[in-house]
C-alpha cells in the first residue's frame, strides 16, 4: 500500500478516499497493467513481422513493464494464489488474461517453428513459461536506476534467448 501511494504521490491512508478496500486498489492496479500488456502484445503480433521479430518485441514489452507496472508485477508474483482464492470470483480475469497471453506467445513460437526460425525440438508451452518466468521474476531483483534500464535488460535477454550462451557445437540431451 505504501509503494502504491508513493507512486501516486499521496499518503497511504489517502488511498481509501478513492477506493473502498485494498482489493479494489489491487484490482485497479492489475486491470490497468493487464490491459496495457495485452494491448501492446496485440500491436506487436498485428505488425505483420516474422515470428522472431514479434517474439523479441514481446520480450521487450514484458521487460518494459518492470518500472511503470512494478506494483502489479510484484502482486502477481507474490499474491496470485491468494487473489484467486478470494470470494465472488473477483479476480477470475487474471486467469483469462494469463490464458490469452499464453496463447499469444505459444502461437508465435509455433509460427516460428513452422517457418524454420525456431528449433522444432522444443516444447512451445514450456518455452513460453520459461520466458515468462524469466521476465516477471526480474521484478524481484531489478532496480530502476541500476546498471541496466529495462530496454538494456530486454536486449541482453533477447541476445541470450536467440543467440544462446554456449559457443561451438550444440550439446543437448533428449528429454
Structural domain includes residue 31: yes
Structural domain includes residue 58: yes
Residue 172 pLDDT greater than 70, yes or no:
no
pLDDT in tens, 63-117: 999 999 998 999 888 888 888 888 788 888 888 999 999 999 999 999 999 999 9
E strand map for the chain? none
Structural domain includes residue 38: yes
Across 147-152, average pLDDT: 92
Residue 149 pLDDT greater than 50, yes or no:
yes
Structural domain includes residue 5: no
Alpha-carbon distance of 136 to 153, in angstroms, equals 12
Across 25-49, average pLDDT: 92
* Domain harbouring 53, CATH code: 1.10.357.10
Across 121-145, average pLDDT: 94
Structural domain includes residue 137: yes
pLDDT band at 175 (very low <50, low <70, confident <90, very high): very low
The boundaries of the domain holding residue 131 are 21-163
127-134 contacts: CB < 8 A, separation 24 or more?
Answer: 128/102, 131/59, 131/105, 131/161, 132/62, 132/101, 132/102, 132/105
Structural domain includes residue 173: no
Residues in contact with 143: Cβ distance below 8 Å, sequence separation at least 6, in sequence order: none
pLDDT at residue 19, as a whole number = 63
The predicted model scores a pTM of 0.83
Our count of domains for the chain comes to 1
pLDDT at residue 173, as a whole number = 52
Alpha-carbon distance of 161 to 133, in angstroms, equals 13
Average pLDDT score, the chain: 87
Amino acid at each position: 500500500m505504501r509503494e502504491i501511494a508513493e507512486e501516486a504521490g499521496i499518503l497511504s491512508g489517502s488511498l481509501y478516499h478513492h477506493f473502498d478496500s485494498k482489493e479494489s486498489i489491487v484490482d485497479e492496479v492489475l486491470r490497468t497493467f493487464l490491459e496495457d500488456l495485452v494491448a501492446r502484445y496485440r500491436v506487436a503480433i498485428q505488425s505483420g513481422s516474422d515470428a522472431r521479430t514479434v517474439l523479441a518485441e514481446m520480450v521487450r514489452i514484458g521487460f518494459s513493464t518492470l518500472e511503470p507496472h512494478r506494483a502489479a508485477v510484484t502482486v502477481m508474483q507474490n499474491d496470485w494464489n491468494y487473489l484467486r482464492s478470494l470470494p465472488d470470483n473477483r479476480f477470475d480475469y487474471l486467469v483469462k488474461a494469463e490464458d490469452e497471453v499464453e496463447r499469444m506467445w505459444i502461437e508465435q513460437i509455433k509460427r516460428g517453428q513452422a517457418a524454420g526460425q525456431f528449433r522444432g525440438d522444443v516444447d512451445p508451452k514450456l518455452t513460453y513459461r520459461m520466458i515468462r518466468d524469466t521476465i516477471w521474476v526480474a521484478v524481484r531483483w531489478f532496480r530502476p536506476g541500476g546498471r541496466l534500464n529495462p530496454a538494456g535488460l530486454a536486449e541482453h535477454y533477447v541476445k541470450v534467448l536467440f543467440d544462446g550462451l554456449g559457443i561451438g557445437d550444440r550439446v543437448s540431451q533428449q528429454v
